[in-house]
């Protein structure tokens, strides 16, 4: 029988996590480090980045941090080059940054469309492209991009956001097809309602907050660390035959058709 514990061991690997200052990005970086990876943290939030770095080091992990504005055209290449400089390799790349402008599609301005598309789709592609080139040359690696349940289901006010998240899924599927022959895997993760600083404003609206919880099969919001374990799996040898997929971590949101329970 094989040693299945070793399938989650990331010792010797190096990972780049962009968006590591808070929320799901920070939890992902901490989880990767906990399983043995050396982690390069990147984010434009310098204070949050420093706190994340200290937390990983306090826990005995190995990490470095770099302030990064992913909207800069050269940022993706810089982040990948910096990771290689620090750790000499890149085994896993995790892209989490995203933005949303909540309003009806008919009310969207061109500037607002550009804001959402430029970060969520174009900047994510630049990052995946930069990491993918390095991994293709090396002959192995795991690209992980964050999509959303909005890649599959929508609600009023999230149309452009949903379109970018569906686009990320298609980018990942294409990368899986194009890079698979080189030993590189590409997958997307689709979180449901997760309690992070970005979703904090929803708590100010109890009905909205409760409605999201009740849309899940588990009747609750998720935590960043529950998503982070999906990142660990997709980075680890345990997922060596997994590529081109959308990994749902949504508490059953997309499986549940409403919350009404009919008399059976």
Catalytic residue among 4, 108, 161, 241: 161
Rounded CA gap, 250 and 217, in Å?
9
Q: Is the CB of residue 256 less than 8 Å from the CB of residue 217?
A: yes
- pLDDT at site 264: 61
Rounded CA gap, 61 and 141, in Å?
21
CB count in 10 Å sphere of residue 252 = 13
| Joined tokens for residue 198 | 């970005």
CB count in 10 Å sphere of residue 7 = 13
- Regions of the chain with pLDDT less than 70: 1, 259-260, 262-264
Q: Is the CB of residue 36 less than 8 Å from the CB of residue 63?
A: no
For residue range 42-67, what is the model confidence (pLDDT) as tens digits? 999 999 999 999 999 999 999 999 99
The question of whether 4 is a catalytic residue gets the answer no
The domains found in the chain, sorted by start residue, are 7-251 (3.40.50.720)
- pLDDT at site 199: 85
- pLDDT at site 257: 78
- Three-state DSSP at 99 gives coil
């Amino acid at each position: 029988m094989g040693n299945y514990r070793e399938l989650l061991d990331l010792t010797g690997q190096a990972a780049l996590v962009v968006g590591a200052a808070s929320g799901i990005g920070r939890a992902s970086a901490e989880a990767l480090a906990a399983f043995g990876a050396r982690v390069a943290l990147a984010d434009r939030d310098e204070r949050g980045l420093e706190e994340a770095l200290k937390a990983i080091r306090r826990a005995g992990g190995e990490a470095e941090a770099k302030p990064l504005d992913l909207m800069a055209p050269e940022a993706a290449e810089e982040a990948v080059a910096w990771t290689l400089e620090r750790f000499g390799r890149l085994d896993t790349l995790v892209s989490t940054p995203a933005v949303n402008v909540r309003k009806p599609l008919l009310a969207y301005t061109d500037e607002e469309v550009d804001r959402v598309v430029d970060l969520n789709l174009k900047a994510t592609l630049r990052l995946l492209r930069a990491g993918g080139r390095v991994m293709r040359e090396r002959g192995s690696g795991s690209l992980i991009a964050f999509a959303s349940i909005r890649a599959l289901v929508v609600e009023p006010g999230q149309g452009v956001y949903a379109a970018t998240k569906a686009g990320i899924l298609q980018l990942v599927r294409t990368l899986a097809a194009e890079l698979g022959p080189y030993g590189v895997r590409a997958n997307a993760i689709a979180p449901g309602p997760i309690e992070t600083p970005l979703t904090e404003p929803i708590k100010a609206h109890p009905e909205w907050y409760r409605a999201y919880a009740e849309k899940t099969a588990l009747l609750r919001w998720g935590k960043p660390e529950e998503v982070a374990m999906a990142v660990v799996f997709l980075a680890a040898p345990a997922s060596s035959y997994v590529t081109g997929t959308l990994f749902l971590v949504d508490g059953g949101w997309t499986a549940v058709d409403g919350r009404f329970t009919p008399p059976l």
